[in-house]
Amino acid sequence: MSNVHVTKGRPAVTRAVVPALVLALSGAAATPALAAGVPTVQRGHDRTVTFRTGHAGEAFVTVTAAAPGVSWAVKGRESAVLSLFVDGRYATDDVVPAAFPIKREFALGQLSAGRHTLRLSVAADRSPGKSVRVSGLTFRTVAVGSASYTDMAHAPVLYGRNGTGGTSTGPFQNAATDTPLVAWHEDVPATTPGHRLLTYSYIWSNEDGGTSTPQLMARWGRTSDIEWIYQVEVDAQGKRVPGTAVFQAPNHVTQPFAGTYEGDHPLLETCTLNNNICDKIDDPMRFSLSTAQTLDAATEAREQVMDRNPWTYWVVAAEARREGRVVADPPTTSQTLIADPRDYLYLVVRKQTVNPPNGTDWVGLSIGVRLKGDPTLYRSDHLFPDRSINRDLPAATTVQLPPGTKPSDIAEVTGIRVPATSKDTGATIKVQAINRAFFLGRNDEPGTSFIAGPTPATLTPQNPTAVLYTAPASAG
């Protein structure tokens, strides 16, 4: 049996930990003995874990898994899909994209208190990988009546993309392209006193249609795709307010949800090449990612959810390389090609555009970087006004720099006011802060941020540039 304990300081949440992964064999076929703590799940030889929940509520499992011989960067070897079944019910797929361990949390749905089983199966019909090594499983339950129960009870379940046309057709697409990586939720007061507005968002490894890769790097600071997928208002008792449930439909249209629920969990499906959503289900793959992570949209960029899950940067870079979008020296005019992801400085900037705010005609922000001993001003927009930053929420961007550039090579970072159309509205940009700035390491995961904090600057038509950061004298 697995160990059960109540998390210290959070009596409403229980965790069941399987440190050595005590497993019961399933199926008629004989299954080889497991290496202590590091079992391998083979195709055709499922494994079943027994665990207990101390309270009724929304259950979660954290899975640490690797797939021998698999790499998201190599065509034909993209992943091994581990399907999870709770008490015989299909709960979620875990697309395992690497031969090194990746830890992810998945939602298992509403469970009663007591004993349950989790069956692990390598799905032969949806990925090339033949085995998955599971080195860790941790269970927890968000109990009915606890502070976060309502947020978890309304989280969506997302089915895979199917039959969208072009080079991505048929089922199981998300086992090899645009796979869902992580998710989160935002919980803010609604207009009605005592009501709350819950918004759920997903991050995919890329988008096969929509914004070009260079535009993504310049205006969004990544090549992943990030979208809100479902929003609902709940009352003071945590019940769904009729008529408030909406989702982000094709062409980014907000549309009332008219699909199916499992309890209070809406069933949705990725249905376009740019990862918009439909409320009709026809794909076999199911993603029930944990949405327990939160985001303060007023002070944090959505990309900072990726920062908290650094392995996502490796997956995103691997997909860009596999699809041939990474070259040594791309022309700035390219609509498809970018430099090596490790050649970019990744920043998040907070700013506000006023007098007037941005509209159809808008004034954007470009970030410039000067290096020590180099007269070049490297710009995030590559001198294309429509690649400057429009939005006034905390925004991510990147600046391409010479290969091998280190934090200690940077002399200064500047903010540049950029009218994006032929009409300069005269707006003022007030730069408030840089949330973070880092390079990717050799493993394509974020390095340590070396700039963070207030960077007050006012950019006007008369004074369109300002220094946001100057390297300390000792940094050389």
Q: What does each C-alpha distance from 300 to 295, 401, 455 come to in angstroms?
A: 7, 25, 15
Nearest to 368 by CA among 315, 417, 302: 417
Is there a single domain that holds both residue 381 and residue 253? no
Q: What are the structure tokens assigned to 66, written together?
A: 């690797």
pTM of the model: 0.91
Lowest mean pLDDT, pick from 35-44, 150-159, 416-425: 35-44
Q: Could you tell me if residue 316 is inside a domain?
A: no
Main-chain phi, psi angles of 125, to 5 degrees: -85, -5
Does 24 have pLDDT greater than 60? no
pLDDT of residue 39: 82
Is there a single domain that holds both residue 400 and residue 304? no
Q: Residue 444 in contact with residue 317, Cβ under 8 Å? A: yes
| Alpha carbons 163 and 362: distance in angstroms, whole number | 37
Give the CATH number of the domain where residue 383 resides.
2.60.60.20
Is there a single domain that holds both residue 297 and residue 363? no
Give the CATH number of the domain where residue 106 resides.
2.60.120.260
pLDDT of residue 79: 97
- Encode pLDDT of 56-87 as tens digits: 999 999 999 999 999 999 999 999 999 999 99
pLDDT of residue 13: 41
Instruction: Decide: helix, strand or coil at residue 51.
Output: strand
| Bridge partners for 283 per DSSP | none
Q: Could you tell me if residue 365 is inside a domain?
A: yes
Lowest mean pLDDT, pick from 14-28, 302-316, 363-377, 449-463: 14-28
Is there a single domain that holds both residue 287 and residue 348? no
Q: Show which of 293, 311, 329 is a domain's final residue.
A: 311
Is there a single domain that holds both residue 194 and residue 68? yes
Is there a single domain that holds both residue 44 and residue 181? yes
pLDDT of residue 168: 72
* pLDDT above 90 as % of the chain: 88
- Encode pLDDT of 331-343 as tens digits: 999 999 999 999 9
Strand (E) or helix (H) holding 316:
helix 311-322
Main-chain phi, psi angles of 84, to 5 degrees: -115, 130
Distance in angstroms between the alpha carbons of the first and the last residue of the chain = 57
pLDDT of residue 474: 67
pLDDT of residue 30: 29
- Encode pLDDT of 301-318 as tens digits: 999 999 999 999 999 999
The single residue listed with the structure tokens 């327990």 is 292
Q: With bands split at pLDDT 50, 70 and 90, how would you rate the model's confidence at 23?
A: very low
Does 469 have pLDDT greater than 50? yes
Q: What are the structure tokens assigned to 283, written together?
A: 């794909």
Mean pLDDT of the chain: 91
Q: Could you tell me if residue 335 is inside a domain?
A: no
Instruction: Decide: helix, strand or coil at residue 332.
Output: coil
Does 278 have pLDDT greater than 60? yes
Is there a single domain that holds both residue 225 and residue 282? yes
In total, how many domains does the chain have? 2
Domain that holds residue 352: 340-475
Q: Could you tell me if residue 317 is inside a domain?
A: no
Nearest to 154 by CA among 242, 86, 84, 233: 233
Q: With bands split at pLDDT 50, 70 and 90, how would you rate the model's confidence at 473?
A: confident
Is there a single domain that holds both residue 345 and residue 421? yes
Q: With bands split at pLDDT 50, 70 and 90, how would you rate the model's confidence at 167?
A: low
* pLDDT above 70 as % of the chain: 91
Q: Show which of 290, 311, 332 is a domain's final residue.
A: 311
The single residue listed with the structure tokens 């490297």 is 378
Q: Residue 452 in contact with residue 431, Cβ under 8 Å? A: no
Does 12 have pLDDT greater than 70? no
Is there a single domain that holds both residue 272 and residue 390? no
Q: Could you tell me if residue 24 is inside a domain?
A: yes
Is there a single domain that holds both residue 410 and residue 469? yes
Q: What does each C-alpha distance from 451 to 313, 343, 382, 414 come to in angstroms?
A: 19, 17, 22, 13
Does 394 have pLDDT greater than 90? yes
- Encode pLDDT of 225-237 as tens digits: 999 999 999 999 9
Is there a single domain that holds both residue 401 and residue 274? no
Q: With bands split at pLDDT 50, 70 and 90, how would you rate the model's confidence at 25?
A: very low
Pair type for strands 131-143 and 40-42:
antiparallel
Q: Could you tell me if residue 318 is inside a domain?
A: no
Q: Could you tell me if residue 271 is inside a domain?
A: yes
Q: Could you tell me if residue 401 is inside a domain?
A: yes
Is there a single domain that holds both residue 154 and residue 277? yes
Q: With bands split at pLDDT 50, 70 and 90, how would you rate the model's confidence at 166?
A: low
